[in-house]
Every structure is written in structure tokens, then in C-alpha cells.
Amino acid sequence: MRKISICDGWSFIENITDEFFNFTGEGTAVRLPHTCKEVPVHYMEESSCQMICGYRRHLEIPETLKGRRLFLQFDGAAHVAEIFVNDEKVMTHNGGYTAFRVEVTDKLVYGAENRIVVRLNTREDANVPPFGHVIDYMTYGGLYREAWLLLADQSYVEDVFVRTPDMNHALIDVTISQPDTNHTLELYLLDKQKKVVGQKSLKVSGASITNCSIAVSNSHAWSPETPYLYTLVAMLKNHNEDIIDEYNVSVGFRQAVFRSDGFYLNGKKYKIRGVNRHQSYPHVGYAMPASMQIEDVRILKEELHVNAVRTSHYPQSKHFLAACDRMGLLVFTETPGWQHIKNDEEWKQIVCENVEEMILQYRNHPSIILWGVRVNESQDDDVLYSKTNEIARRLDQSRQTSGVRFLWRSSLLEDVYAFNDFSHTGKNGALLPRWLISPNKKKAYLIAEFNGHMFPTKATDTPTHRLSHAIRHANVLNEVYKREDIAGAFGWCMFDYQTHGDFGSGDRICYHGIMDMYRNHKLATKVYASFSEETPVLEVGSDMHIGDYPGGSVGENYIFTNADSVRLYKNERMIREFMPVNNKYRYLPHPPIEFYDTVGNVIEEGEKYSHKKAEAIKECLLAIQRFGTALPPKYIFKAMWVMLRHLVSPVTFYKLFFKYIENWGVSAPVYRFEAIKNGQVVAEVTKASNANIHLDTTVSGTTLTEVNTFDVASVRIRVVDANNNNATYSHLPIFLKAEGAIEIVGPDCVTAEGGMCGTYVKTTGIVGDGTLTITSNQTEPIQLRFSVKIEGSGISEWN
Ligand code: GAL
């Protein structure tokens, strides 16, 4: 089957009219992926995306295509799409999160222009999941993924499903449309170098071929560490040996099994460590092309160093899944929905259709290890969920099922009890006991969400709050790693997201992310990043500015690192080398280092005290700094004992506190931290007061390539101080100007929040160079250069 992009050449109208439908009224020229409404980041009006809008396009079909079969395919149309070809309705599709295809062979006029119209209902229509009650995320609208014209012979390979029951066999099911017994089906398994490592040839005898086995010796296993992909090619040949269709599928040899004691990948126990991801972006909601989907996988893998992601609460872009296959991320995906099940058979039927579409469309992705066949956090409905489980098990015998609950001991028709454990308050135990929650100890137990609304955290929150956010993630992860009976956990969530007015802060954002909406890092990302064994991580839980804290005391503080140790220098004087040994976090491979001592042996040397005396005094002084007026009695007694034992007066205590601890009335110190790995300094962080701010950018890529549609690059922008720390309080307007072959997605002025913001640039169908100039009134400007290439697409492919 040939896929021809029809992402270009659409005309759009917000409220569809007869004139628009008839191609007489005007529309706006758009390209897909498209959002029905660009929205502001804060205070988005949720009704602004709700409309019955129209998309239309001419489609010229050459005479030469007569005799072939043609289809239209939409990869994502939020939320109810009616497709018209030459004024005739050819299909209605319910649900915005799965692709759909319709055959239009007999509806098209050959050698002429055809009229394609999509009447798209983006409203929160109570008749279609996830709608009917409140939902904690914005659902946007539009033809927000790609669209295709598909071209096939009379007989073609409709579907291929490859399983790997063991490391030496691929089991293949093939479905052939209009099978012809004169045809042969050839199956080839290719390795990474495109070398054939297994093959089979079969006479076509019917529409379905099942359990066709190809033996492979010494196959390379697929895992997050080694995401080795093979390609299965299914070739349909006619009696003359001409290829009449070819279908390619990526294959990963892996066995993924959840058992009562955890998750096993290729026979090895494996702790799942992930985050939840919504598919939204600032300004354009869901409508981002392949490069941005792939960039999110790269961020998960290379910046957050997780090994898994949950696509909450719906199936996400094929580009995202394909990148998870390539880069090695385990995926838990699920049917669309949020808490609500409508008491209505048609609504439930759409849930079943969604499950079926999800499995048929995604079951070849080796990255997917579990199907969510319940509406997230819905009540038990054994009738409905018996059906969804049956669909999943019938369509895919290679994967287990689950469904995410907040319910304790709910009816468990699935293989895995997935639970959203929001019990952690920062002080208590990090997770509830499994026996309390799961009704069946023989089945696996997975934490599908934690933290989230329990501790919303903005980049503009106080440093104490931001540190607490990070520590809560560490607390839960430590517990997950401690408990052998937990298969793994997904933190809520990857980045802040827009939501309905019933949730979130008043500005319709849930600040639950470990990153902000532009994917800028909050401190909590360092807890995840510290799992990395390759990329050095070093961050300090405080910028060490006394004015940020009551009484000038930083209080509780941590260093996040994956190094062997961290050295602290105060005004270039070595204070102490901290080791990441922490009893509390001993289950984490690289625990956060609790850190209070900014004094080292300075008192001993400065005052010429004995080591014992200096250490005893230091302990009391640091406790005073840490706890302030809430000093625990233990330290009050200790201080009294030290005064008596070492003959130190309260006045001396007081003086020493201000001289060595409080830094009040002295020049602000410069703190420098060095992360040491294998004896080498691998990372450095300096915290010092300075007003020398400048702009810093992280760009996803400067070469943009139009393949099937426009391309986008993300530009993460930070205002930083002289030491590259976020200048947290620089709430500066940042002005953006695009020139040449690119344009800005969203507004041309954004505001730094907690020193962070961002933008996106997109191609315009023009080859050449483009520049993005970023300015603010308080910094030097930055200019980024992009080059734009076009690598063929569209209908011209036929000629
Ligand atoms: C969960 C829900 C998520 C999100 C989260 C916030 O209950 O499944 O979608 O709302 O709470 O913490």
C-alpha cells in the first residue's frame, strides 16, 4: 500500500457553513497537524476549542489510478469526524485518539478534482468517551495528526502482526484484503543491517494467515538498554512474481511479563521507572508533527533517564511510539477516558471500539508492554470490562491487560492491578501497602501515578517548595525500589498541562509536571536524571540566597547527583566532600545527599578550637540554622552541654553563629560544588549572588525537514545568572522574531516564569535559511539560525 501525504492544501473554518461545505465560502489555508484554535498558555478559555468546524480540500485523482483501490486515512481527528467525498458522507468516526481509514475507490472521480470535506465536532460531546463528566486535561480539537491517501492493488496486505514468543521465533499473522489464490506471500525478517535472517514463502489461500513461524537463531533482544529492531517485510506477489504490495513492520524480540512479584523483561526482573505523559504542547494543544513527538521521547530517555512512560489517558502519536521502539522506552498505553462511564450502551460500545482500534493499530510496537483496557480511574463495570479484556486477549495474546484505578480492592479482571497511589504527603510512608489495595496477591501490582495534585509545583514557587517537590518524588521512588512486590511506578507527570476550570490553578494549568509546559526542567527532574549511569548530574536544592528563607536559614537542603562524591568550596576554600550514602534513600542507586554542613573545619581553624569542641559547636549551630525557633529539644540539651563542657558562653555561641553560619552582615559567599566520578570532576555548579543575567537556549534541532508535512523545532529559553543558574525572579517579557524560511508557533512575546519559557518555530514550505531572534530588555539578544529542507511529499509522487 502506498501512503501519500495529504497534510497540505486544506482550508479550515471554525464554524462550518453550507457555503464552506460547497466550496463557495472562504476558509483559512492550513496544513496538518492542525489545532482548531491556538490558545494562550495561561487562562485559556476552555470553550474556545469547542466548535463544529470544517476542513476541506481538493484532491485530484489521475485517470491512471482507475482500477486501483483508494482510501483516506486520518491519524487523529478530535473528536467526532464525518468524512464527505464529493458531498457524500463516507464515514463517521467517534473518538479523537485513534486513527481511522475509509475506502473511497467508488466515491472518487478519476481524471478530475474531488472534494473532500471533514465536518469535525471538537465539542465535549457526552456521547463519546472521554466526555460526559469533568476531565482533568484539555481535549483541544482539530485534525491534529497526519492525513493520507492510500493506494493499493485489488488485493493488498491489510495487516501484519508479529509476536516473539521466545528469542528464536517470530510468529506472524497476516490479513490479506481480497485474497487471490494465484498470489504468494513472502515474509522476510531483516536485521539492523537489512540482512535477511529468516524467511518464508506461502501460497495465498485465504484472507488470514495465522501463526506463521520464522525461526531466528541468536536473535538480539530488545530492551530499553539495547533497543534492537528487526524489520519484517510481508510481500505479496502475483503469478508473474511482480510485487503488488509490501508491508513493513519493526520487530523487537522481547518477552514482557508481569508476575505477582514484579515485571520481567526477557526473563530478567526489571523495575519500571517512568512518568505519565499527556500529548499536549503550549499554544497548539495536540497538534505537533513527528519531530516534536520524537523530541519528547528523547527528553524522557536522555534527560529524565526513565525507562518507561504511560500515555495517559489515551493512545498517542505513532511517531511517539515508533521513537519509543527505537530509543528503548517501555510503554503502558490505555483507552481514552477519565473516571466517567456513561450509563449508555452506545457510549460503552465506543469504549470497546477504542480498545479494538488501539490494539490493532499499536500491537506491533515492541515498546508497548501493557494494555490499559479500563477508563482511567473509573468505577468497576464487570460487563463492560469483561468485553474490553476479551477484545484485548483475542487481538493480542502476547500482552497482558491492566486498567488504572483509584479504587481499593476493585474487581480485577485484568492481569495487573494498576493503582494511583496519592497517599504520600511528604511526611508519611511513601506508598500504601499492596495487601490493602489489591484483591489478588497472585497478580502483579503497578503504581500508575503518584504525587501530582498532592503537591503542585510551579517554577515560580519558593525554593523550599520546589525542593519538597523533588524530595517527594525521591521518597516514592525509594519505596518503589525497596518493595519487591511493586512492578514499578509512573510519576505524575512529565510536564505541566492545560486543564479544565474544575482542576488546576485558576489559570487552567495543572502544575503537576516535573517540567513546565515547554519541557523546561524543574528541580524534581534531577531525582529521575540521577538514575543515569552515563550523563553526569549535579544540582543543588537551593540557590543559597539567604533572602529566600525565613530568618535567612536555608534549612533542609539536598544535592542531587549520580557522582561518587561532591566537594563543596565556600569562597574557594574546600569545606567538605559529601558522599551519597544515605540510609533513608538506600534503595536508590544514587540517593540525594542531605546537606547542611557549609562550615567544614572552618570553626576549628578560625577559632583554634580542638576538633572535638569545634565539631560539637558546629552541630548545634547548624541545627539552629536548620530548625530555627523549632529547634528540637535534643539540640537544646546538646547546646547546653557544649556550653558547660567546653566553657563557651551564649554570647560566643551567638557570635559564632553569625560569623560562620548565617552570613548576615558579611559579603555573600560563593559556593562551588564539584561532582567527582572516578577521581575526576565531571560536573560543577556555582551558587552566588549576581545580577549578570543572560539568555540561554536549548534547541531541539536547527535543521528542519519537511517530509510529509511541516516540521517544528522547540526552543527552550532560560534567563540565567552568570553561573548558568535559572534567574528565578526574572519574570521578563521575551520577544521573538522569525525571519526567512521559518515562522513562530504561538505569540511573538512570552514571559519567563521562574526564569524559564520557550517557543516553537515551524517551516513554511519554503527551502532556505531562517533566523529566530530572541530579545529582552535586560539581556543581550540571541540569534538562532535554522535551515529548512524539503524531502518530497504529496501527490506529485505519482508522476
Ligand atoms: C489522577 C488522574 C490524573 C490527574 C492526577 C493529578 O487522579 O488520573 O489524570 O488528574 O490525578 O494528580
**Residue 369 pLDDT exceeds 50:** yes
Q: At a CB cut-off of 8 Å and minimum separation 6, what does 47 contact?
A: none
The answer to whether 253 and 167 are in contact (CB under 8 A) is: yes
Distance of alpha carbon 249 from the chain centroid: 24
Q: Find the mean pLDDT for residues 141-151.
A: 97
Compute the distance from residue 777 Cα to the ligand 1 centre, in Å: 39
Compute the distance from residue 275 Cα to the ligand 1 centre, in Å: 12
Q: What is the pLDDT of residue 797?
A: 40
**Residue 794 pLDDT exceeds 50:** no
Our separate counts of H helices and E strands in the chain read: 12, 48
Residue appearing with cell numbers 508533527: 289
Q: Find the mean pLDDT for residues 776-793.
A: 93
Q: What is the pLDDT of residue 285?
A: 98
Pocket test for ligand 1, best of 338, 449, 499 (most atoms within 8 A of CB): 449
**Residue 272 pLDDT exceeds 60:** yes
Ligand 1 atom nearest 448 alpha carbon? 8
Q: Find the mean pLDDT for residues 228-232.
A: 98
**Residue 782 pLDDT exceeds 90:** yes
- pLDDT per residue over 276-305, tens digit each? 999 999 999 999 999 999 999 999 999 999
Of 255, 42, 51, the C-alpha closest to 165 is 255
Q: Find the mean pLDDT for residues 420-440.
A: 97
Q: What is the pLDDT of residue 795?
A: 44
Compute the distance from residue 452 Cα to the ligand 1 centre, in Å: 7
Q: Which residues are catalytic?
A: 377, 449
Residue appearing with cell numbers 514468543: 165
Q: What is the pLDDT of residue 488?
A: 98
Q: What is the pLDDT of residue 373?
A: 98
C-alpha to C-alpha distance for 538 and 529, rounded to whole angstroms: 9
Query: Ligand 1: which residue has its CA nearest to atom 9?
Result: 136
Query: For the chain, what percent of residues have pLDDT higher than 90?
Result: 93
Q: What is the pLDDT of residue 798?
A: 41
Compute the distance from residue 358 Cα to the ligand 1 centre, in Å: 22
Query: Strand 272-276 to strand 308-311: parallel, antiparallel, or no bridges (unpaired)?
Result: parallel
> pLDDT band for position 793 (50/70/90)?
low
Q: At a CB cut-off of 8 Å and minimum separation 6, what does 111 contact?
A: 61, 62, 63
Q: What is the pLDDT of residue 390?
A: 98
Query: Ligand 1: which residue has its CA nearest to atom 4?
Result: 136
Residue 680: in which H helix or E strand, if any?
Answer: strand 680-687
Q: Find the mean pLDDT for residues 247-273.
A: 97
**Residue 745 pLDDT exceeds 50:** yes
**Residue 664 pLDDT exceeds 80:** no
> pLDDT band for position 658 (50/70/90)?
confident
> What is the dihedral angle through the alpha carbons of 147, 149, 150, 151, rounded to the nearest 10 degrees?
-170
The answer to whether 120 and 153 are in contact (CB under 8 A) is: no
Q: What is the pLDDT of residue 307?
A: 98
Ligand 1 atom nearest 492 alpha carbon? 12
Ligand 1 atom nearest 313 alpha carbon? 9
Q: What is the pTM of this model?
A: 0.97
Amino acid at 705: T
Domains, the chain, ordered by start: 2-152 (2.60.120.260), 156-251 (2.60.40.10), 271-522 (3.20.20.80), 546-687 (no CATH), 694-797 (2.60.40.10)
**290-298 vs 318-327: helix crossing angle, rounded to 10:** 40
Q: Find the mean pLDDT for residues 212-233.
A: 96
Cell of residue 764, nine digits: 513554511
- pLDDT per residue over 544-553, tens digit each? 998 999 888 8
- pLDDT per residue over 304-356, tens digit each? 999 999 999 999 999 999 999 999 999 999 999 999 999 999 999 999 999 99
- pLDDT per residue over 58-102, tens digit each? 999 999 999 999 999 999 999 999 999 999 999 999 999 999 999
Of 460, 462, 476, 377, the C-alpha closest to 425 is 476
Q: What SS3 state is found at 548?
A: helix
Query: Ligand 1: which residue has its CA nearest to atom 10?
Result: 136
Task: Give the CA diameter of the chain.
Answer: 104
Query: Which residues have CB under 6 Å of ligand 1?
Result: 136, 312-313, 376-377, 406, 420, 449, 452-453, 492, 512
- More confident call, 114 vs 554: 114
Long-range residue pairs from 616-620, CB within 8 A, at least 24 positions apart, any chain = 616/642, 616/645, 616/646, 617/642, 617/646, 617/648, 617/653, 617/656, 618/660, 620/653
Pocket test for ligand 1, best of 425, 453, 508, 514 (most atoms within 8 A of CB): 453
Compute the distance from residue 136 Cα to the ligand 1 centre, in Å: 7
Query: Strand 416-420 to strand 444-449: parallel, antiparallel, or no bridges (unpaired)?
Result: parallel
Sign of the dihedral defined by the CA atoms of residues 321, 3, 248, 364, in that order: positive
Q: What is the pLDDT of residue 627?
A: 84
User: Burial of 113 by CB count in 10 Å (0-12 exposed, 13-18 middle, 19+ buried)?
Assistant: exposed
The answer to whether 674 and 681 are in contact (CB under 8 A) is: yes
**Residue 796 pLDDT exceeds 50:** no
Q: What is the pLDDT of residue 649?
A: 92
Compute the distance from residue 338 Cα to the ligand 1 centre, in Å: 9
Q: What is the pLDDT of residue 552?
A: 84
The answer to whether 531 and 300 are in contact (CB under 8 A) is: no
